[in-house]
Amino acid sequence: MQAIALTELVDEILAGPAPLPLVRAGDPVLRRPTPRYEGELGDERLDRLVRAMREALHAAPGVGLAAPQVGVPLRLAVVEDPAEVPPETAEARGRVPLPFRVLVNPSYTPVGDGAAAFFEGCLSVPGWQAVTARHGTIRLRGQDERGNTVDEELSGWPARIVQHETDHLDGTLYLDIAETRSLSTTQDVLERWAQPTPELAARELGFTLPRVRAR
């Protein structure tokens, strides 16, 4: 996208309702791989977009939001997870607090062959969750919002969040790789499948815990 059209689009979105309305599954913007961010917005406009995305993330509430989910086709996402879950659940899922951060041009590669399968949802697919296998540990590469190089390893829930948000930037939704027999309403996940691991759900719904799918 040309810089001028992109800045106009972002200005238009930022001038609209707050918190930013979220794009839902069915909108092609969620299915197009995003172009890399090369500074087109300038620091001040980027900061305003990031603040608006964080506000939308808190309002949802959620733990990650990719730019296409607010209608902006850019390789940019925000993540933040206070990890307020029971200790047993946190332990089983590797769910540790992930302080707010901005992912610019993120990409990831698996580290080792560890995998973890848990219920996962998406703000663009409200009301539903499904068991999704993710790499247990990843190497995240990209930049932060000031262009500083990021190259680090993440495990557990933070690794899951980063994989989910980075996949958004490639036009992939978690449902593309989820075990569809596990698909449950959020209500059912809360009432039936809130155990630390999805083994009971697997038995009752008739699926085997999925492995990471190549993509």
* Site size toward Ni ion, by CB under 5 A: 1
Task: Give kind and range of the element (H or E) at residue 49.
Answer: helix 42-59
Going through 37-183 in order, the beta strands assigned E by DSSP cover 64-66, 76-81, 98-110, 115-121, 128-135, 137-143, 149-155
- Cα dihedral sign for 44, 48, 54, 58? positive
Question: Measured from the CB of residue 78, what is the shortest distance to Ni ion in angstroms?
Answer: 12
CB-nearer residue toward Ni ion: 41 or 122: 122
64 bridge partner residues: 79
From 24-32, 40-48, 122-130, 149-157, give the range in contact with Ni ion by CB under 5 A. Answer: 122-130
CB-nearer residue toward Ni ion: 122 or 212: 122
Q: Which listed residue (6, 52, 122, 162) binds Ni ion by CB under 5 A?
A: 122
From 26-34, 46-54, 118-126, 147-155, give the range in contact with Ni ion by CB under 5 A. Answer: 118-126
Residue nearest Ni ion by beta-carbon distance: 122
DSSP 192: T
CB-nearer residue toward Ni ion: 23 or 122: 122
Helix, strand, or coil (residue 184) = strand
CB-nearer residue toward Ni ion: 57 or 122: 122
Question: Measured from the CB of residue 208, what is the shortest distance to Ni ion in angstroms?
Answer: 24
Are 63 and 79 spatial neighbours (Cβ–Cβ below 8 Å)?
yes
- Cα dihedral sign for 47, 166, 210, 179? positive
Residue 53 interacts with Ni ion (CB under 5 A): yes or no? no
DSSP 215: -
Peptide bond into 61 cis (omega under 30): yes
Question: Which residues are annotated as catalytic?
Answer: 165
Question: Measured from the CB of residue 200, what is the shortest distance to Ni ion in angstroms?
Answer: 25
Question: Measured from the CB of residue 92, what is the shortest distance to Ni ion in angstroms?
Answer: 22
Which residues of the shown chain bind Ni ion in the complex (CB under 5 A)? 122
